[in-house]
Amino acid sequence: MSSTETLILVLYFFVLSILAIYGWHRYYLVYLYMKNKDKVPAALPPLPLQTLPPVTVQLPIFNEMYVADRLIGAVCELDYPRELLEIQVLDDSTDETSEIAELAVRRYAAKGFDIKFLHRVDRTGYKAGALEAGLQQASGDFIAIFDADFIPPADFLMRTLPHFATDPKIGMVQARWGHINQDYSLLTKIQAILLDAHFVLEHGSRNRAGCFFNFNGTAGIWRREVIPDAGGWQHDTLTEDLDLSYRAQLRGWHFVFLPDLVAPAEVPVEMNSFKSQQHRWAKGSVQTCMKLLPMILRSNQPLGVKVEAFFHLSANFNYLLMSLLSILMFPSMYVRYSMGWTEMMLIDIPLFAAATLSFCNFYMVSQRELYPDWKTRLKYLPFLMSIGIGLCVNNTRAVIEAIFHKQSEFARTPKYGIERDSDEWVGKRYHQSVGVQPMIEFALGLYFTATVFYALANGIYGTLPFMMLFQIGFLYTGLLSIFQQFTGENVMLKSPEVAK
């Protein structure tokens, strides 16, 4: 075996081993979740009316013309005394959204609501800057935050505030995201499953085990004094919520996650919007990792908290490894076939299994915890893995930009007010441009198509299912991005149920 062939195999198995370690970490999260099931925060009775604190609800919006009015209306339906409720519409918009939002504010102000329209012409700090500017004028002792695509339940404040009364060190309470349009398409169904696992298992396991978890930027409420104590909203990362969360917990504040309190929201219906959102989250988390992980590791936190923080904040670096693995798949297969396939399979298959079976288990458990019909949702797991793989080009770019400190603006995710299967997004504004990235994804899809044919031609069946996940993932993400940009909605968008 030549030195080049040796290098290919060493790199291949090194990358696969690291991915397997992170795969096994998913098993650990499920273990923590099951072990601490008795520690789920109990539902508390509402606070007596005479003890209710003043609350400010902040609504940061930027070019959200299709959902701004819906958001403001839903917040004004909150079950809370009007004399204790302040609503801030923090508008950075540069289009008709400002007129729509200001008109809604005037309408509800005329009905007696303490609601203010705060418009910035300078978008310094993006969402973090808007929240900080609003905080300077806020009157509430607690700050609730909702993004434009959310529809908060009327009892949100009455169910979250009692938890602050149980412990003066409770700094933030986070609700679980719901999905008002999860059945719209295959893409929205996949996103719903991804988010379900993030909240139920990641937040659930970390919170119950006493580890750090994060505010998700919306559908949460803060004790006001926590924000300045932790250093305030900072905009040197694209995930200001994750950044502030870790700084606050390092200061000794505790967070609570309420899995049974659901705040419905709209997930992106367009692949390019989904990619834009994932790019921002991946880049921001790596920025936060580079900013805060050294501080966390030097802190006096328990070892378990430090280890979990490491896995949490470093997880997106795996997209670099996934991209490298994608390139190495065919060369390593060719080398191993020429030297004897059977022996190498003894290493290859277990590592792939560790990386993928843990993934399936992770998402299966999250669906089982939430839905009585969870077994019917298992058919989406192969698509879930494929789309996760297909995102690696998009998110690898995000990771590289973060590593090399490339600055980019906070690109908010377009929302189209999609609530029903019959609603359309085609023809509406805010579409994301595709650039050259989908062509790279499509090329990788063709590359794996050739790899699949090579495996079939040579009777190499052991890793064929894994290679097909890569093939489908890259073709789906690449082609759907192109089709939706240039031809509008396509049958590939629809889920099996909706496409009938």
Quote the CA–CA distance of 340 and 344 in Å, as a whole number.
Answer: 7
Place of tokens 């289009």: 95
How far is the CA of 179 from the CAs of 68, 209, 266, 420, in angstroms? 17, 27, 6, 11
Whether 92 is catalytic is yes
User: Considering 92, 147, 149, 196, which one is annotated as catalytic?
Assistant: 92
Strand ranges in 62-98 using DSSP code E only, listed in sequence order: 85-91
Q: Which helix (H) or strand (E) holds 222?
A: strand 220-223
Closest to 152 measured CA to CA, from 256, 212, 223, 79: 79
Please report the DSSP string for 125-170 in residue order. Answer: THHHHHHHHHHHH---SEEEE--TTB---TTHHHHHHHHHHH-TTE
H-type alpha helices, 380-487: 381-390, 392-403, 437-457, 464-486
Quote the CA–CA distance of 221 and 57 in Å, as a whole number.
Answer: 9
User: Considering 91, 149, 241, 243, which one is annotated as catalytic?
Assistant: 241
Determine whether 4 is exposed, middle or buried from the number of CB atoms within 10 Å of its CB (0-12, 13-18, 19+).
exposed
Task: Kindly state the tokens that stand for 425.
Answer: 């997004």
Whether 155 is catalytic is no
Quote the CA–CA distance of 62 and 364 in Å, as a whole number.
Answer: 36
Positions marked catalytic: 92, 241
